[in-house]
Structure 1
Amino acid sequence: MKDNEIRELRDEQDFKDFYLKEPPLTFCEECNAISYGYGSGFLEIAKLEELKRQQKEIGGRKNRRKFFSIVLLLEGEIEETIGHHKYLFQAGSMFFIAENQLHATEKWSDDVRGIYCMFDADYFLLCIKHQIKLNQFPFFQLDKEPYIELSEREIGMMEHLFWKLNSEKCQKTSFNDDLLTRMFLNVILLEAERIYNRKDSKEKFSLSRKDQLAAQFQLLVNTHFIEKRFVSDYAELLHVHPNYLNDVVKETTGFPASHFIQNQMVQEAKSRLLQTSDTVSMIALALNFTEYSYFGRFFKKHTGMTPLSFRKKHKH
C-alpha cells in the first residue's frame, strides 16, 4: 500500500488484517463457546497490550473505518492522528474514532495497557427503542474534540463497565443476554458523554474552513434528512454552491455528500423497522416517500434486502 493511500476498513476482520501480524479469530477465548448470536453488526473488545504485542509496523498509514472505536488508555502513551489533528494520549485518557473519520495510528509505547472496543452502527441500532443516535454523541462529531481525560474514580468506573460489557458479550446464551450486552455499550457511551459535557474546554477546537463546512453539513443532515433529500438543499442552507459542498465533503470524509443523506435515511428506516410495530407503508410515509414501492427499492438498493425481509431476519 502506498504511503498516501487511504485504506477502508469495513469490519473487525479488516482491522485485524490491517494492524496485526497474526490476527486471532477472536480476542477472547471464552467467546469461542458462544452458542447464541442475534441480529446484524459486530462488537469486538481487545486488550491494548495484546494488540501491541501483535502490532505491525504501520506508523502513519491512513485509514477510514466503517465502524466506531473507543479506546480506554490505563497505562502508557498512544499517538494517533484523528481527522487532521495529531494527539498524544496518556494514561487516564479515553478517545473515540467515528465512522468514516480519517485516522492513522502513529506510535504506541511498549507499556500500553487498556481496552480497545470496536462496533458498527447496526450493532448499536438493536439496543433500545428511541435511542440516541451515535452521531449525536459529541465525541463522534467532526467539529468536537474526540477525547476525554478521566479522574481516578471515572477510570475505575469505565474499567468496570468495559469488564462487564466483555463479560456479558462472552457469556450470552439468549436474546435478553444479547440485549444486555448492547445496553452496557450504550451506558458506556452515555457516561462518556456526561463526562465530556462536564469538562472545561479552555480552547476552542480549531478546524480548517473545509472541515468546518463538512461538519456543519453532517449536523444539518442529522436534523433535516427526512424533508431535505438533495445536496442542493444543504448547499442553500450553508450558502455555498452544491458542487463545492460535494467536493469539500468528499475531500474531507472520502464520501460524496449524497452518501450521508442516504445513509441517514437507511439508518432511520432500519431503526423504525426494528424498534416499532409500524407497517412498512407507515414507515415509508413517515420518511416522506410518496410511494411504498419507491421506499422498497431504495431500501433494497442500500441493504440488499426488502424492508419486510430485514424486519423478519433481525426483529425478535
Structure 2
Amino acid sequence: MKKSEIKELRNEQDFKDFYLKDASLTFCEECNAISYEHGNGFLEIARLEDLKKQQKQIEGKQTRRKFYSIILLTEGRIEEHIGHLKYEFKPQTMYFVGENQLHAVEYWSEDVKGIYCMFDADYFLLCIKHQIKLNQFPFFDLDKEPFIQLSERETGMMEHLFWKLNSEKCQKTTFNDDLLTRMFLNVILLEAERIYNKKTTHENFSLSRKEQLTSQFQLLVNQHFIEKRQVSDYAYLLHVHPNYLNDLVKEVTGLPASHFIQKQLLQEAKSRLLQTNDTVSMIAFELNFTDDSYFNRFFKKQTGFTPLQFRKNHKH
C-alpha cells in the first residue's frame, strides 16, 4: 500500500467528496422528494456498480472513517486494506469497516456488483430500546476478521434485507417510519452476527502488539467506563505506562485514549436520555458524575446541547 496522508471522513458527504467524481451525486433517486428527517446521524445505501462508475483514482489512499460501513459483494472482485491487513473479496462476501479503522481501497473490478451501506453511531443509537452496542458485534471488533463468506441463500436473504431497508428509508414520512428503518438496520446486523458466529473459527487473529493492546483497552473501556474515567486507570490494568497507552491508541485509531472513555460515557448518557424516563439528576448519579452541573457541562461540551435539550429534540 502506498504511503499517503490519512484522510478523515466524517459523514456521507466526505465519502462522496473523497471517492466520487461527482460529489453532488445522490445515492438514491427515490429519496430526493423525501423531506422528513428525525434525530441525529445518517444512513446511506448505494449500489456498488453505481459507485464504481463514479469512482476516482483512489487506490492506496488511506482514510479513517467516523462511521461504519457494510459491503455486500455479489459479483466481481474487491481488494482493500482494513487495519494493517490486505483482503481480497470475491462474490457472496459481506465485509465490514468499523469506525476509526484505517482503510484503503486497492482495487474494484469493472464488473463489481452489490450493496454499500454506511451509517454512524448516532443513527444506530436511536434504533430500538435497550439495543446492543455496535462495538459488541464481532465484525467491528479490532481483533476479529472483518468479513463473512455467505451461501447463495444467505446472499439472497441479505440482498432482500438491504433493499427492504432502502425502501423503508426512501418512503419514510413519519417518526414511526423512521423507527422501522432503523430496526431493519438492526436486523441486518443481527443476522450478520448470527452467520458470523456460526461460520467463524475462533482462532487467534493476526494483530500487531499495538493493535492487541488497543483492542484490550477498548474492551476494558466498554466494561469499566462508568467507574474508571482516567487513561491511567486502564494503563494500570494493562500494565503499561499511561503515556505509552495514549500514544499507541492514537497511532492505531488516530484518536487519544481519553476520546474512547468520553465517547462511551456520552453514548451511554444519550441512550439513557432517549430510552428511559429517568431524570437528568438520576442519570448523572448513575453515571457517577459528582453533580448535575458537571454532567450538564460535559454533555453540552460534547454535543452542543444540554441533556434536556437533547431529549426534547430527539425523544418521541
- TM class by shorter chain equals over 0.9
SS in 1 for 2:52: helix
Alpha-carbon distance between aligned partners in 2 of 1:276 and 1:25, rounded to the nearest angstrom: 39
Amino acid at match of 2:220: L
> Are residues 202 and 126 of structure 1, via their aligned partners in 2, closer, same or farther at CA, if it must alter by over 3 Å?
closer
SS at 2:187 equivalent? helix
- Give the structure 2 partner of residue 121 of structure 1: 121
Instruction: State the match for 1:165 in structure 2.
Output: 165
Which residue identity lines up with residue 67 of structure 2 in the other structure?
A: F
Deviations 1:8-59 (CA, angstroms, capped at 9, x unpaired): 0000000000000012442111101113211110000000000000000010
Structure 1 position 264 matched with structure 2 position 264? yes
Partner of 2:88: 88
Distance in structure 2 (CA, Å) of the matches to 1:250 and 1:122? 22
Query: Could you say what secondary structure the match of 2:73 adopts?
Result: strand
Q: Does 1:191 align with 2:185?
A: no
| CA distance in 1 between partners of 2:49 and 2:128 (Å) | 32
Task: Give the match for residue 219 of structure 1.
Answer: 219
Moved more, 151-160 or 202-211: 202-211
CA distance in 2, matches of 1:182, 1:304: 24
Give, in whole Å, the separation in 2 of the partners of 1:249 and 1:267: 20
Q: Which residue matches 1:248?
A: 248
Question: In structure 2, what is the Cα distance between the partners aligned to 1:55 and 1:26?
Answer: 14
Q: Distance in 1 between matches of 2:58 and 2:51?
A: 13
Counterparts of 1:284 and 1:193, CA distance in 2? 33
Note if 1:39 corresponds to 2:39: yes
Distance 1:254 1:91 in 2: 32
* Aligned match of 2:59: 59
Distance in 2 of aligned mates of 1:103 and 1:265: 26
What is the CA deviation profile of residues 177-206 of structure 1, one whole-angstrom value per residue up to 9, with x for unaligned ones? 100000000000000000110114275311
**Counterpart of 1:155?**
155
User: What SS does the corresponding residue of 2:263 show, helix, strand or coil?
Assistant: helix
Aligned-partner SS, 1:267: helix
Q: Which residue of 2 aligns with 1:237?
A: 237
d(CA) in 2 for partners of 1:200 and 1:32? 40
Query: Which stretch of structure 1 is more off in the superposition, 33-42 or 137-146?
Result: 33-42
3-state SS in 1 of match to 2:248 = helix
Q: Which runs of 5+ in 2 are unaligned?
A: none
Secondary structure of the 1:234 match is helix
SS of the aligned residue for 1:186 comes to helix
Tell me how far apart the structure 2 counterparts of residues 150 and 267 of structure 1 sit (CA, whole Å). Answer: 32
1:312 corresponding residue in structure 2: 312
SS at match of 2:188: helix
Counterparts of 1:257 and 1:204, CA distance in 2:
24
Read off the aligned partner of 1:173 and give its amino acid letter: T
Aligned partners of 1:34 and 1:171 also within 8 Å: yes
Shift of 1:4: 1.9
**Residue pair 1:80, 1:105 contacting (<8 A) in 2 also:** yes
Whether the 8 Å contact between 1:23 and 1:54 is mirrored in structure 2 is: no
Distance 1:13 1:220, change over 3 A: same
Instruction: Give the TM-score normalised by structure 2.
Output: 0.98
Matched residue type, 1:39: G
Deviation sequence 1:95-143 (CA, Å, 0-9, x none): 0000000000111000000000000001011111110000110100111
Kept in 2: contact 1:121–1:134 (CA 8 A)? yes
The amino acid that maps onto 1:260 is F
Structure 1 residue runs without a partner (length 5+): none
2-structure distance, mates of 1:132, 1:26: 31
Moved more, 191-200 or 108-117: 191-200
Identity %: 78
Alignment of 1:274-285 (within 5 A): 274-285=274-285
Contact 1:52 1:108 in 2 (8 A): yes
Deviations 1:234-272 (A, max 9, x none): 011111111111111011110110000001111111111
Please name the residue that 1:139 is paired with.
139
